[in-house]
Structure 1
Amino acid sequence: MTLHIDPARLAEATSGPRRYQMLIDGKWTDGEVGLEGERVSPGHGIVVSRYAFGSEADVARAVAAARRAFHRGPWPRMKAADRAAVLLKTADLIDARREEIARLDAIESGKPISQARGEIAGAADIWRYAASLARTLHGESYANLGDDMLGVVLREPVGVVSIITPWNFPFLIVAQKLPFALAAGCTTVVKPSEMTSASTVVLGEILMQAGLPEGVCNIVLGTGPEVGAHMVAHRDVDMVTFTGSTRVGKATVQAAGATLKKVAMELGGKNAQIVFPDADLDAAVDAAVFGAFFNAGECCNAGSRLIIHKAVAKDFLAAFEKRAARVKVGDPLDDATKVGAIITPEHLKKIENAVIDATADGATVALGGAGLTSAAGQYMTPTVVTGVKPDMAIAREEVFGPVLSVLEFERVEEALRLADLTDYGLSAGVWSRDIDTAMTVARSVRTGTVWVNTFMDGYPELPFGGMKQSGIGRELGKNAVEDFSEAKTIQFHRGPRTSWWVED
């Protein structure tokens, strides 16, 4: 199959790409070393962005600015209501520039524009939720320690936070971190992926317009080795929050351990949708197609494993493949597109090799299995791999592409064993009309989120994160602001105190 992609529809094809600078201490700046980067659109094959890239020296400048803003600036000492007002203004400005931001994410990451619009709207909602939490962060008091003692526990901002975000949800994932850090009174240094930095730079423009003081949010562009590693290792950084692969997450935790920084990690997943015979099978088919191919499978929450009861496997897979074959793969800027481009040619090859290795292990490609021919960009057809055995790599390892692995079971215990056979524990779905079955699976499977008769719904009010090697900590939810704070105990004594020194 050949896709027709017309790069000429992009303004960048004639006017040239925009160049983006870094934001350090309230000023737009190039890097001290003069490094540069550019982004070739994965869906169109032309350069759509140019960046001023940073280095260790720029990280040092940004951290110093954040440290000054924390110790001497107004932000940590503001009334919570005033911080919340800035976050609310930010949300309004995001809404006003939604189409612009969605387009940037679509052309840089390859995601469909219709999906990107939903992500930007969701991000604005998260900023508003974080604003509400800014006003509810509080400590505790203990008046039960005796008549002469009062204990008070304060929640204070943790300090300077390094925020490192990935390429697959450029604007949404920074919204799962930054507004909560700001709500707590922290100052920050943000590094977006070097492949999808544009929308984060626009966020910097929005924050300045919303009235965020200088130095509170600094944005340093560049690669992991040149920028991210130094943000993790810097002695004046108090906390690191990272979203990305488990491999890089492990290295990040190890590096942060040298100075005992607080860490929050949202990492990989190999998530199962478990379907029982009594489920609403039509709804389950639709959710399984969505879960496997949403964002071209480049999603830590992707439902990349279908664990299906043998009694309904044949009919379910026939319906799944029929629906999957109708999923529109194509230009990210086409409103009808459901599956856009793969992030890089190298990643496309990695996905294809995972499918090749599975067939060498004895699995069968029931649908798709290879990249699509295109005059511009790189694409892959939705793929279904059947006959998967629990010990195969494709059953255990994250492919991060539009590939569904199918395993079959007969008993609940077997389904749970299959669900938990990976090193990951991010999310899972269970499909059954029987409350006992649904509750048994939901309570037993070792994941941070379980969806029952739905898949990949998300709300700011609900915490998100994984067990096992899927991460450390939780994002979102009522405790999200508290996670960017430290507890401080203060003890007040009144009246005479018994002397430790005893006079002769």
Structure 2
Amino acid sequence: MSTAPSPTGDGLAAYRMWIGGQWREAASGARFESTDPFTGLPWASVPDAAAEDVDQAVRAAEQAQYGAWGKTNGFERARLMHRLADLLEREAADLAATETRDNGKLLREMLGQLEYLPAWLRYFAGVADKLQGEVIPSDRPNFMVYTRHEPVGVVGAIVPWNSPLMLLMWKLAPLLAAGCTLVVKPSEHTPVSALEFARLVDEAGFPPGVFNVVTGQSADVGQALVEHPGVRHVAFTGSPGVGVKVAQSAAAHFARVTLELGGKSAQLVFPDADLEAVANGVIAGIFAATGQTCVAGSRLVVHREVHDALLSRVRARTERIVLGDPTSEDTEMGPLSNPAQFKTVSGFVERAVAEGAGILTGGCPDHGLGGLFYRPTVLTGVTPDMEVAREEIFGPVLSVLTFDTEEEAVDMANSTEYGLGAGVWTGDVRRAHRVAHSLRAGNVWVNSYRVVAPNVPFGGTGASGWGRESGIDAVREYTVTKAVWIELSGATRDPFTLG
């Protein structure tokens, strides 16, 4: 069956779902449209799945899990993963363009992500043939005991719209290394890139059913995936509220869960920091991705002594940020990805001002550009109890808080329910370690911000989630440990006879 999308009568690219190695329509025949956030116009049409389609995908994944894929060894899995990495490298530019059209983020940001993603496949391909157990000394001389690390089974993944393929890959690469299969439900706002990626999985030679994509615009589709008894592990990236529901639904049939949820990350700036470097780090941390990233440095916690000097730099650079067409090389910040997010960001700023925050710059839509553009915003006079200091906004809004002592800075940073990321800016190496150790966050960057790598675990604490993605820790999320006892002597006895 052809893998290329076909044009619809109104000129949209019409895609089909990828289930069990075949391109399929939804059982109902229903479809929905994906809209370009920059133009506000629909550009693609995809199947609108329901529970029946989810069931077909999970059954296909089960068939592969307990069939062809389950019979492969780590060396064969590694070979296929290296092949997929090569294909992803070849198609990175086209996939990046697809993501930009779907979510409105800068083309160069999406291209940077896509060009880096093959490293995840290659790193975890190197792990696939090294998932060895160990021999455990036994207190019984007639027993040999050893362990095996076996795949947990079918994984159901739900990924968001801000970095669709990157957050998909953070799940896919380690679960492939572990020997699992996947059914992924991409966001209804960005359904296309996962379908384009499925072409590469097929070309790489993975057995049918190892990778399946189900698209749908209703939350019922994700719920059907999480609740399916054939799904043994759920990997979810999204909001804490939905994460709680995912965990509860998965627990009902004893499926394991990894949750990569929201963040309200603080960047702590001490008086001895390099303010030029800090300004660059702050701008990159909150505005480079239009604030639409889970580790956005949305709280600037700055020492009173350097508050004014730093904010003058941040304001000057913020007001020079170029908004516009995300495909243009000159553009530095694109639109928000959908109308609901635009409304959310606007509401947060309006309520912050009502609570007493001041607007240093921004604080309004950019009507000259139309669409979903919101000016990069810096709010001053923010206190830890304000909504904008506690809740994730997921937009280009920076809240500025001031401190006098190191203890106060740490308390401010730890004052939210989130614990995903934090930045520490200081020239004092002792303070850097001391503060990094005191912060309740799964990721701490010192004199830098928002750096990731395939071999470094990523995840949060508290309302920022459970489990880790990337690094060896990620493979452990997708395996179960089996203990094997081997009786060596053949000398068994009647269990009811003493002596």
TM range (shorter): over 0.9
Match of 1:39 in 2: 34
How many pairs are equivalent?
492
Displaced runs of 4 or more, over 6 A: 12-15
Q: 1:333 to 1:469 in 2, by over 3 A?
A: same
Q: Tell me, yes or no, if structure 1 residue 223 matches structure 2 residue 217.
A: yes
- 1:389-439 CA-partner distances (Å, limit 9, x unpaired): 111000000011000000000100000010011010000000001012111
SS at 1:373's partner residue? coil
For 1:14 and 1:494, locate their aligned partners in 2 and report how far apart those are by CA, in whole Å. Answer: 71
Displacement of 1:267? 0.1
Of residues 8, 21, 27, the one that matches 1:26 is: 21
SS at 2:120's partner residue? helix
For 1:139 and 1:348, locate their aligned partners in 2 and report how far apart those are by CA, in whole Å. Answer: 50
Cα pair 2:324 2:369 within 8 Å, conserved: no
Q: Tell me, yes or no, if structure 1 residue 302 matches structure 2 residue 296.
A: yes
Match of 1:8 in 2: none
Equivalence map 1:64-463=2 (5 Å): 64-71=59-66, 73-374=67-368, 377-463=371-457
Match of 1:5 in 2: none
For 2:43 and 2:430, locate their aligned partners in 1 and report how far apart those are by CA, in whole Å. Answer: 52
Q: Tell me, yes or no, if structure 1 residue 61 matches structure 2 residue 84.
A: no
Cα pair 2:324 2:335 within 8 Å, conserved: yes
Match of 1:7 in 2: none
Ranges in structure 1 where 5+ consecutive residues have no aligned partner: 1-11
For 2:481 and 2:166, locate their aligned partners in 1 and report how far apart those are by CA, in whole Å. Answer: 29
| TM-score w.r.t. length of structure 1 | 0.95
Cα pair 2:153 2:233 within 8 Å, conserved: yes
Letter in 1 for 2:385: D
Ranges in structure 2 where 5+ consecutive residues have no aligned partner: 1-6
For 1:334 and 1:14, locate their aligned partners in 2 and report how far apart those are by CA, in whole Å. Answer: 29
SS at 1:327's partner residue? coil
Cα pair 1:368 1:383 within 8 Å, conserved: yes
Q: 1:13 to 1:281 in 2, by over 3 A?
A: farther
Cα pair 1:54 1:226 within 8 Å, conserved: no
For 1:374 and 1:134, locate their aligned partners in 2 and report how far apart those are by CA, in whole Å. Answer: 52
For 1:76 and 1:481, locate their aligned partners in 2 and report how far apart those are by CA, in whole Å. Answer: 16
Displacement of 1:16? 2.5
For 1:440 and 1:132, locate their aligned partners in 2 and report how far apart those are by CA, in whole Å. Answer: 34
SS at 2:315's partner residue? helix
Letter in 2 for 1:243: T
Cα pair 2:34 2:191 within 8 Å, conserved: no
Displacement of 1:499? 2.9
Q: Tell me, yes or no, if structure 1 residue 486 matches structure 2 residue 467.
A: no
Of residues 446, 449, 462, the one that matches 1:468 is: 462
**244-253 or 138-147: bigger deviation:** 138-147
For 1:98 and 1:208, locate their aligned partners in 2 and report how far apart those are by CA, in whole Å. Answer: 16
Displacement of 1:237? 0.8
SS at 1:126's partner residue? helix
Displacement of 1:226? 3.0
Letter in 2 for 1:85: R
Displacement of 1:144? 4.1
Displacement of 1:52? 1.1
Displacement of 1:18? 1.1
For 2:21 and 2:69, locate their aligned partners in 1 and report how far apart those are by CA, in whole Å. Answer: 14
SS at 1:296's partner residue? coil
| TM-score w.r.t. length of structure 2 | 0.96
For 2:390 and 2:154, locate their aligned partners in 1 and report how far apart those are by CA, in whole Å. Answer: 37
For 2:34 and 2:434, locate their aligned partners in 1 and report how far apart those are by CA, in whole Å. Answer: 47
- 1:15-47 CA-partner distances (Å, limit 9, x unpaired): 932111101111000000122111111111111
- 1:149-187 CA-partner distances (Å, limit 9, x unpaired): 111111110011101100000111001001211111111
Letter in 2 for 1:51: V
**376-385 or 459-468: bigger deviation:** 376-385
SS at 1:380's partner residue? coil
Displacement of 1:470? 0.2
SS at 2:44's partner residue? strand
For 2:92 and 2:211, locate their aligned partners in 1 and report how far apart those are by CA, in whole Å. Answer: 21
- 1:34-72 CA-partner distances (Å, limit 9, x unpaired): 22111111111111211112100000111111111112x
For 2:403 and 2:137, locate their aligned partners in 1 and report how far apart those are by CA, in whole Å. Answer: 57
- 1:424-474 CA-partner distances (Å, limit 9, x unpaired): 000000000101211111000000000011000111110000011100000
- 1:244-283 CA-partner distances (Å, limit 9, x unpaired): 1111111111111111110000000000000001011110
Q: 1:118 to 1:334 in 2, by over 3 A?
A: same
Cα pair 1:80 1:135 within 8 Å, conserved: yes
Match of 2:4 in 1: none
Letter in 1 for 2:41: I
**370-379 or 33-42: bigger deviation:** 370-379
Displacement of 1:374? 4.5
- 1:474-496 CA-partner distances (Å, limit 9, x unpaired): 00012222210101111011111
Displacement of 1:320? 0.6
Match of 1:500 in 2: 495
For 1:21 and 1:294, locate their aligned partners in 2 and report how far apart those are by CA, in whole Å. Answer: 33
SS at 1:479's partner residue? helix
Q: 1:224 to 1:434 in 2, by over 3 A?
A: farther
Displacement of 1:107? 0.9
**Structural RMSD (CA):** 1.6
SS at 2:423's partner residue? strand
Cα pair 2:259 2:465 within 8 Å, conserved: yes
Q: 1:274 to 1:265 in 2, by over 3 A?
A: same
For 2:8 and 2:203, locate their aligned partners in 1 and report how far apart those are by CA, in whole Å. Answer: 30
Displacement of 1:145? 3.2
SS at 2:473's partner residue? coil
SS at 2:229's partner residue? coil
Letter in 2 for 1:165: V
